[in-house]
A = this chain, B = another copy of it.
Amino acid sequence: MAAAAAAALAAVLALSCCNVASATAEAEADRIASLPGQPPVNFSMYSGYVTVDAAAGRALFYWLIEAAGVPPESAPLVLWLNGGPGCSSVGYGASEELGAFRINADSRSLSRNPYPWNKVANMLFLDSPAGVGYSYSNTTTDLYTAGDNKTAHDSYTFLVNWLERFPQYKQRDFYITGESYGGHYVPQLSQLVYRNNKGVKKPVLNLKGFMVGNAVIDDYHDYIGTFEYLWTHGLISDETYEKLRLTCEFEVSEHPSKECEKILEVASAEQGKIDTYSIYTPTCKKTSLHRHRLIRGRTPWLPRGYDPCTAQYSTKYYNLPEVQKALHANVTGIPYAWVACSDPIYKYWKDSPRSMLPIYRELIAAGKRIWVFSGDADAVVPLPGTRYSIDALFLPTISNWYAWYDQGEVGGWCQVYKGLTLVTIRGAGHEVPLHRPRLGLKLFEHFLRDKPMPKPADSIQTF
């Protein structure tokens, strides 16, 4: 009996061992030895592809940057999603916002980001949907049929399959974060995880909550707030402000009517050559591409989170064969170059519900942690739109609007509602961790602890 028990145990161990071993082997194949031009680091990174539809040949690219400073085996797992639709989380989030490195102006070497979010969590960047960044599909039509629903389901499949490769993250505290049009992806994916977890005792995706920044939340309120922002910040004429309200108020943000689009173009022309994603900073003058985009005025209104100069560096860097090799990227020979934002994905985007608020209500009721932040110098998805959207939830207030502090200066403002925390970052543009890296990390840390942003008396400081 003892021998039989021991044999059974051994079998279990072997099974467990082998499962883990095979998973680890797959993961090990994804381990990044070192990136070209990279400074030395004391944490592990993995990247590669996870198939989400074998028949179609659809595979999503991820980059995992494990925690440093805190033990990765106990730190939470946090997914980060950029928006667009069509923009790469590797190109933006990982490379110019909250990743471990920043790409230098030579487009060949990297330097350390002094405030990377992997200081407090394991950060998982996902290029989503297929056709974005290194993610691809062998079924070309996939690029022309992308939309919210498919993106959420593919991302969900990715997560489930990815956890088979990294079983140590199963049941780990899990958060979904993102910005801009990620304001759609993040709650939608959270809802899917939440619903699929229902009735499951110890779900592998142990979703605790989500956080979005400068997020598209509710088209009606976003539009109203955007127009008000543009006028009060002096970016557009009285006349255009009036016309925007009359014509665009009830439009869908992704596909506004021709009439509304015309006035959006007038508004864009009136704004002049400013970086609408960060209205007080100088523009990048290195590129004709940037000027072209700003003058053309087709998209600056819509949430494509890019900084033109850094986007240039990433465009060069991620097209280098040695970088792709180090990242285990582009292993199938994608028939187009890596771009930070995909035009067809953006242009042919299908379903885009007008409001995420019903999902907010469902997940607030479910007790999920929800934080919304906003860099207040962004004219693309500006603060007043976010405030109007949150107001429309009619949540009870726990702590009314107050200034929060970092190193004796006001970092922004914070309001704690029952079920949701709203945080602004003073002077930050659309990409908060790019413009205010220190404040961005502080925000992230407080989110993970579910601790409201600090008043002057709260002197807690962990970095």
Chain A residues in contact with chain B, CB under 8 A? 228-229, 231-240, 270-274, 279-280, 282-283, 285, 374, 376-377, 383-384, 387, 391, 400-403, 405, 408-410, 412-413, 415, 424, 426-427, 456
Contact = CB atoms under 8 A, between A and B. Distances in A.
Contacts of A279: 426
Q: Which of A232, A402, A403 has the most CB of B within 10 A?
A: A232
Contacts of A456: 273
23 contacts: A228-B228, A228-B232, A229-B232, A232-B233, A232-B383, A234-B387, A237-B400, A238-B401, A239-B400, A239-B401, A240-B401, A270-B401, A270-B402, A271-B403, A272-B402, A273-B403, A273-B405, A273-B456, A274-B410, A279-B426, A280-B377, A280-B427, A283-B409
A237 B456 CA distance: 18
Contact of A391 (B228, B238, B391, B413): B238
Contacts of A239: 400-401
Contact of A384 (B232, B273, B415): B232
Contact of A282 (B377, B387, B405, B409): B409
Contacts of A403: 270-274
Contacts of A237: 400-401, 415
When all copies of this chain in the complex are counted, the total is: 2
B376 A233 contact: yes
Given A238-B387, A238-B391, 18 more contacts: A228-B228, A232-B384, A233-B383, A234-B374, A234-B424, A234-B426, A235-B413, A236-B401, A237-B400, A237-B401, A270-B403, A270-B413, A271-B403, A273-B403, A273-B408, A274-B403, A279-B426, A280-B377
Given A283-B409, A285-B408, A410-B274, A232 B232 contact: yes
Chain A at the B interface: SS class: mixed
A240 B410 CA distance: 19
Nearest to A422: B234
A292 to B, nearest CB: 15
A234 B270 contact: no
A225 to B, nearest CB: 8
A368 B283 CA distance: 37
A197 to B, nearest CB: 34
Contacts of A415: 237
Contacts of A376: 233-234
Contacts of A228: 228, 232
A283 B403 CA distance: 14
A280 B282 contact: no
Nearest to A272: B403
Contacts of A413: 234-235, 270, 272
Contacts of A427: 280
B283 A280 contact: no
